[in-house]
Amino acid sequence: MSRTSHTRSRRRNPVIAVARGILCFGLGASAGVAGPLDVEVEHPWCAASPKGVVTGACYVTVRNLGTTPIRIVGVDIAVCNHTELHETDVADGIMKMRPVPRGVEIPAKTSVDFHTHGYHLMLLELKSSLELGQRIEGSLRFESGGSKKIEFHVETRRL
Ligand SMILES: [Cu+2]
């Protein structure tokens, strides 16, 4: 069995403080601006979470159909107070996750499956448990500005 430990920092930024209770903004806000047009998302899902658990994880495959790289720098999800982009590593049989502060780059004509690449969208301070079948509104934010709306579907964890 592997254990999961969590290494996030406790720093707070002012944007998050203002946004609490409305949406969780991981790294600044860019509401209302269209994201890259050549981006498709596939199978956005969140793992169901037991009652009383205050963190969750969501996954998605993001396809960059364009001819230039794109970088995902954050995610906004309505069911928690704070989000981070995380990477999972296994060292000495222990699974650890850590924030990826520079975000996740997707090269031109390439797709990244967050699940199989070890990335996830970390939901912190969940307002309620994630129930099987629930649909969750969210959006990805890009370094170039703009965002892409996503509807996540809560499913059984597949790890
Ligand atoms: Cu995490």
Instruction: Report the range of poorest mean pLDDT among 33-37, 69-73, 120-124.
Output: 33-37
Question: Residues 91, 13: one domain?
Answer: no
- DSSP calls for 72-107: EEEEEETTEEEEEEEEEEEETTEEEEEE-TT-EEE-
**Which of the 8 DSSP states describes residue 34?**
B
pLDDT-based confidence at residue 57 (cuts at 50, 70, 90) = very high
Question: Residues 45, 14: one domain?
Answer: no
Cα–Cα distance for residue pair 144/133, rounded to 1 Å:
33
Question: Residues 10, 24: one domain?
Answer: yes
Alpha carbon of 88 to ligand 1 centroid (Å)? 7
What pLDDT does 23 receive?
47
Exposure b/e, 13-44, CB count within 10 A at least 16 = b:
eeebeebeeebbbbbebbeeeebbeebebeeb
Alpha carbon of 67 to ligand 1 centroid (Å)? 30
Cα–Cα distance for residue pair 140/75, rounded to 1 Å:
4
Cα–Cα distance for residue pair 38/107, rounded to 1 Å:
12
Question: Residues 20, 50: one domain?
Answer: no
Alpha carbon of 10 to ligand 1 centroid (Å)? 14
| C-alpha R_g of the chain | 15
Residue whose pair of structure tokens reads 């296994």 in the numeric block: 90
Alpha carbon of 38 to ligand 1 centroid (Å)? 27
pLDDT tens per residue, range 113-133: 998 889 999 999 999 999 999
Q: Which two tokens stand for residue 4?
A: 């999961």
Q: Compare 74 and 17 and report the one with higher pLDDT.
A: 74
What pLDDT does 89 receive?
87
Question: Residues 104, 122: one domain?
Answer: yes
Q: What is the mean pLDDT of residues 51-72?
A: 95
> Per-residue pLDDT for 5 more than 70?
no
The model's pTM is 0.77
Alpha carbon of 98 to ligand 1 centroid (Å)? 6
**How large a percentage of the chain has pLDDT more than 70?**
78
Query: Domain residues for 6?
Result: 1-31
Alpha carbon of 22 to ligand 1 centroid (Å)? 21
Q: For position 83, which CATH number holds?
A: 2.60.40.1890
Q: Compare 22 and 158 and report the one with higher pLDDT.
A: 158
Name every residue whose Cβ is closer than 8 Å to that of residue 90 and which is 6 or more positions away in sequence. Answer: 2, 96
Secondary structure of residue 133 in the 3-state scheme: coil
Alpha carbon of 54 to ligand 1 centroid (Å)? 12
Alpha carbon of 68 to ligand 1 centroid (Å)? 28
Give the count of domains, the chain.
2
Alpha carbon of 26 to ligand 1 centroid (Å)? 13
Alpha carbon of 96 to ligand 1 centroid (Å)? 8
What pLDDT does 15 receive?
42
Alpha carbon of 109 to ligand 1 centroid (Å)? 27
Residue whose pair of structure tokens reads 């890259």 in the numeric block: 36
